[in-house]
Amino acid sequence: MGDESAFTTDIQPRVLGVDVGIGYRGLALLPNATTTIWAYLGGGYEWMTYYRDSTGALVAPGALAAAGSPDPGFTRIEGAWRLGVEQGFTWNERTKRNLVGAFAYYRGRVDFNQIPSGGLLYASTIPDRTGLFLNTILAGFSYDDVLTDPRHKGRDGISAEVSAEWGPGFFYNTLSGNSNFMRFNAAFSWFQPLYDIAPDRPINLLNLYLGEYFSLDYAAGFGAAVPLYIRQTFGGRNQLVGLGAQVRGVDAGSLDTNLKAVNNLELRANLPAYFLPDIVPGLVAFWDAGYYNQVGEAGISAPGSGFVSTIGAGAFLNFLDIGTGAGYAAYRLDNENADGKRFAIVLEFGLHF
């Protein structure tokens, strides 16, 4: 703890954009734990989707397979910012990070949607159809005992987080859109090493490990529809794209209900380092499953619910521990996607979890 720099950074790249966080940890509020004050600013130009018809019902599998079907795609210019504090309660000597802690953030964002005429979002009546100005307060607790091997890149341990996010209408959330909601989220990660062919080698040769991620998310609207951004993401500190995308191979942005759960199970293989110790390729096999349900929201003509599941495999490249690129081939088990296909190629920044 005493050797830490007073400042730290967190850089999260996007396809066209970036989010940058600067943390100050020179103030210790509790002994034997780290206090970090964070400020984030970012944004980007994004390709988004909306998979509901003009009545608000979820688009059925195969419904967009015919030529001339409405376009689910639109583009979004987004700006996002947040300011908060993360406070540790107990120190983890194994990982050199806080083991148990709490966090609180103010989060803000502004979206400008560019909607193609005739598209699914163009025909919708949701309050944030053309854009959104959103301010929320997020707070929660965390547990972190995940250790990444700096030489062989395998992971070991578990982490967990629970949080609540409040976006009241009086917090300037009716300027663009009409937001008044509360969201609850729980997330859990687990990693188990299986095999390392040369554990004492300074550069990775081959190792295998299992990984699992689970998240449960529920948002309740108070006299207003839950915003599309909230329905299309899982909550917490690092908000992930929702069930459509978190279950790889399912139409990205689809199944945007206010109750959703996901479980990702992976077998990962880190292959021999290429040129440098920190350029490590890898392979992954996965099984993703999820559940969705439109619970307690008025104004939805045909609330949808059900299970989705995919299997697949992929490859990734860890580049100097700066970032990871990954690509997956996925096959949907439960049904077709909206375009009538079960097979999909998925590209991502970073490992899936």
CATH number at residue 302: 2.40.160
Predicted pLDDT of residue 295: 84
Residue from 201, 211, 189, 199 nearest 144 by CA: 189
The verdict on residue 57 lying in a domain is yes
Token pair 């159809």: residue: 129
- The answer to whether position 341 is within a domain reads yes
Q: Is residue 153 part of a domain?
A: yes
Q: How far apart are CA 72 and CA 108, in angstroms?
A: 26
Quote the Cα angle for 258-262-267, to 5°.
165
> Domain for residue 209, yes or no?
yes
Nearest partner of 115 among 72, 80, 55, judged by Cα: 72
Do the domain assignments include residue 144? yes
**What pTM was estimated for this model as a whole?**
0.93
CA distances from residue 198 to 65, 151, 244, 283 in whole angstroms, order as listed: 50, 11, 39, 18
How confident is the model at residue 234, as a pLDDT? 97
The DSSP code for 226 is: P
Q: What is the rounded CA–CA span in Å between residue 256 and residue 203?
A: 43
Beta bridge partners of 350: none
Q: For residue 322, what are the contacts with CB-CB under 8 A and spacing of at least 6?
A: none
Cα separation, 331 vs 249, in Å, equals: 6
Residue 300: what pLDDT?
A: 62
Measure the CA–CA gap between 218 and 260, rounded to whole angstroms. 7
> Where are the alpha helices (H) located in the chain, listed in sequence order?
228-231, 243-246
Instruction: Tell me the pLDDT tens digit for each residue of 27-38.
Output: 989 999 999 999
Q: Which pLDDT does position 5 carry in this prediction?
A: 85
- 288-301: buried (b, 16+ CB within 10 Å) or exposed (e) per residue? bbbbbbbeebeebe
pLDDT at 303: 67
| Domain residue limits at 228 | 52-349
Number of CB atoms found within 10 A of residue 143's CB: 17
* Torsion angle defined by CA atoms of residues 9, 272, 211 and 105, in that order, rounded to the nearest 10 degrees: 0
Q: Give the 3-state secondary structure of 53-82.
A: CCCCCECCCCCCCCCCCCCCEEEEEEEEEE
pLDDT score for 90: 96
Q: Is residue 147 part of a domain?
A: yes
Question: Which pLDDT score, from 0 to 100, does residue 61 have?
Answer: 95
d(CA 32, CA 185): 28
Residue 41 covered by a domain: no
Q: What pLDDT sits at residue 296?
A: 72
Tally of domains within the chain: 1
Among the listed residues 118, 130, 123, the one whose alpha carbon sits nearest the alpha carbon of residue 55: 123
**SS3 of 231, please?**
helix
29 belongs to a structural domain? no
Low-confidence residues of the chain: pLDDT under 70: 1-3, 297-303
Residue 76 burial by CB count (10 A; 0-12/13-18/19+): exposed, middle or buried? middle
Nearest to 242 by CA among 226, 258, 220, 224: 258
Bridge partners of 149, per DSSP, are none
27, 35 Cβ separation under 8 angstroms: yes
Give Cα 146 to chain centroid, integer Å: 18
Give the model's pLDDT for residue 302: 61
